Structure 1
Amino acid sequence: MKLKEIAHTRTGDKGNMSNIAVIPYEERDYHILKEILTAEKVEEFFSEICFGGVKRYELDNIYAFNFVLEESLGGGVTRSLAIDKHGKSLGMALLEMEI
């Protein structure tokens, strides 16, 4: 299945970093995602554009994750010629990940 079947995203970008929050629709799916949606898996998914690594933050109290993708926006949103690298586009792309 694709991630979008059990979760949605909220995103942002600052400088050369993108921030993707992943929030499952159902509380019970948080524990499943905790096992399979690792920083390493997200980093591999974005390997062609993310050059500074990925950090995952677990927000157990609200059943969500926050992924920070370092060096992923081609120098920054205002410097990059690739409009599709903005945070919102990366969040939508992540939802297409097979889990």
Structure 2
Amino acid sequence: MKLREIAHSRTGDKGNISNISVIAYDSKDYEKIKAALTAEKVKDFFSDIVKGEVVRYELPNIGALNFVMYNALGGGVTRTLAHDMHGKGLSAAILNMDI
């Protein structure tokens, strides 16, 4: 199953740090998402762009996980040559993960 079938996502950035939130559509799917999405799996999924640490924060009251990815935006908005300088497309990418 693709993650997008049970969750949606939002992305933010500060400098060379990107964060991705994954939010369950239904709270009953939160534990499934939590078990499937470790910081290591997210780092591996984004291995082409994430060169630093990935930290996972759990928000069980809202059925969400937040991943903070360091050294992930090619130096940051004013320095990167990437098409998606802010990393907004990363939210769509993570939802394509198989879980």
* TM tier relative to shorter chain: over 0.9
Is the contact between residue 11 and residue 91 of structure 2 (CA under 8 Å) also seen in structure 1?
A: yes
Q: Gaps (5+ residues) in structure 2? A: none
SS at match of 1:93: helix
Q: How does 1:57-72 map to 2 (within 5 A)?
A: 57-72=57-72
The answer for the alignment partner of 1:75 in structure 2 is: 75
SS at match of 2:88: helix
- Equivalent AA in structure 1 for residue 8 of structure 2: H
User: Residues of 2 paired with 1:44 and 1:62: CA distance?
Assistant: 26
Is the contact between residue 76 and residue 85 of structure 2 (CA under 8 Å) also seen in structure 1?
A: no
TM-score by length of structure 1 reads 0.95
The answer for the alignment partner of 2:17 in structure 1 is: 17
SS at match of 2:62: coil
User: Residues of 2 paired with 1:60 and 1:10: CA distance?
Assistant: 17
Is the contact between residue 38 and residue 56 of structure 1 (CA under 8 Å) also seen in structure 2?
A: yes
**2:66 maps to 1:93:** no
Q: Gaps (5+ residues) in structure 1? A: none
Q: Percent sequence identity over matched residues?
A: 64
Deviations along 1:44-90, one digit per CA (max 9) or x if unpaired, are: 00011101121000001111110001000000022111022523111
Shift of 1:22: 0.4
Q: How does 1:24-43 map to 2 (within 5 A)?
A: 24-43=24-43
SS at match of 2:84: helix
TM-score by length of structure 2 reads 0.95
User: Residues of 1 paired with 2:79 and 2:90: CA distance?
Assistant: 17
> CA RMSD of the aligned region, Å?
1.0
- Equivalent AA in structure 1 for residue 65 of structure 2: F
Aligned residue pairs, count: 99
